[in-house]
Amino acid sequence: MTGDRLRRVLAALQATGEEWSASDLCGACPAIAGVDGAGVMLMSGDIQRGTLCATGEVSTLIEELQFTLGEGPCVDAYREDRVVTESDLASADLARWPAFTPPVLRAGVRAIFGFPLRVGTVRLGALNLYRDRPGPLNDDQHADALVVADVAARWVLDTQAGATLGTVAKELEIGADFHYIVHNAAGIVSVQAGISVAEALVRLRALAYSSDRPVNDVARDVVARRLKLG
């Protein structure tokens, strides 16, 4: 059955073109898994790199909120290396994702699912799926989503393998938002404050959240030396 699922997923991707892209991958998810939208977040160690792809405004908002707040289904799926599901956000325990849940609900999201991207022991990020109505994925949809996550992880790893050391493969950057300005700012704060880059990212996010500003705006102030956090 897994082979049949894989062939079906690959056929859906190949229908978009001989050389499919990250956006094709996300775009195929709603039909494959019976959801309303999808996004892929890439991570490395404790650091969120950013959004590889998203299907529309709501999925983009979900990915942006997870990056800014450091919480959400993709973050948990990656860190805990397991599938994370919330079949009815409106009835969920707010303590699970206290900052993430309210704006996502206002955007019309009712159910959300995170699937880790991994190849062997290598963890790369997570696939996020959402619905505008409550309810779990059925068994077939869940199994299909696992296959999509596996295909996505292998494609990312294979694509990045062809890149120059220390750079991101051009194919991965197409349509992506890796928040380079935020990572630059985190490096500056790390040096200024004598802390890890991961902790510097936490400080940037905390300031963005407390001041109700996009984390990219806070990062620009740090890079421009208008703001010092250390």
State the Cα–Cα distance between residues 128 and 29, nearest whole angstrom: 10
Q: Where are the beta strands (DSSP E) in the chain?
A: 37-44, 47-54, 84-86, 111-119, 122-131
State the Cα–Cα distance between residues 162 and 219, nearest whole angstrom: 30
pLDDT (tens digit per residue) in 133-164:
999 999 999 999 999 999 999 999 999 988 88
pLDDT (tens digit per residue) in 37-50:
999 999 988 888 89
Answer whether 204's CB lies under 8 Å from 222's CB: yes
Q: Reduced to 3 states, what is the DSSP secondary structure of residue 229?
A: coil
**pLDDT for the residue 200:** 93
Q: What's the whole-number mean pLDDT along residues 160-170?
A: 85
Q: Is the pLDDT of residue 26 over 80?
A: yes
Q: Is the pLDDT of residue 60 over 90?
A: yes
Q: Residue 7 is which amino acid?
A: R
Q: What's the whole-number mean pLDDT along residues 78-101?
A: 94
CA distances from 209 to 12, 61, 71, 113, 187 (A): 39, 15, 12, 24, 19
Q: Determine the topology of domain 2-170 in CATH.
A: Beta-Lactamase (3.30.450)
Q: Is the pLDDT of residue 1 over 60?
A: no
Answer whether 58's CB lies under 8 Å from 47's CB: no
Burial of 35 (0-12, 13-18, 19+ CB in 10 A): buried
Domain ranges of the chain: 2-170, 180-223
State the Cα–Cα distance between residues 112 and 107, nearest whole angstrom: 12
pLDDT (tens digit per residue) in 72-83:
999 999 999 999
pTM value is 0.89
* Average pLDDT of the residues of the chain: 91
Answer whether 144's CB lies under 8 Å from 15's CB: no
